[in-house]
């Protein structure tokens, strides 16, 4: 399981639609940093199902 900052998770969860926006933003860029960021959101989406 990925280690995710709890405070950040709460911010992302409360933001709601911001998750989708972040995923779109990450898709526009390449690079390890953005890849890690995108994976983190994929984990969040899986947990919400």
- Angle, in degrees to the nearest 10, between helices 32-48 and 18-27: 150
Q: What is the pLDDT of residue 40?
A: 81
Tens-digit pLDDT profile for residues 1-49: 566 666 666 565 555 555 555 555 555 555 556 677 778 878 888 888 7
Tokens encoding 39: 């994976």
Contact indicator for 38, 26 with CB cutoff of 8 Å? yes
Q: What is the pLDDT of residue 48?
A: 80
- Domain ranges across the chain: 6-48
Torsion from C-alpha of 33, 10, 4, 38, nearest 10 degrees? -30
């Amino acid at each position: 399981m990925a280690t995710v900052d709890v405070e950040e998770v709460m911010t992302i969860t409360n933001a709601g639609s911001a998750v989708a926006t972040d995923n779109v933003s990450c898709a526009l860029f390449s690079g390890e940093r953005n890849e890690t960021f995108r994976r983190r959101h994929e984990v969040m989406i899986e947990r919400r199902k």
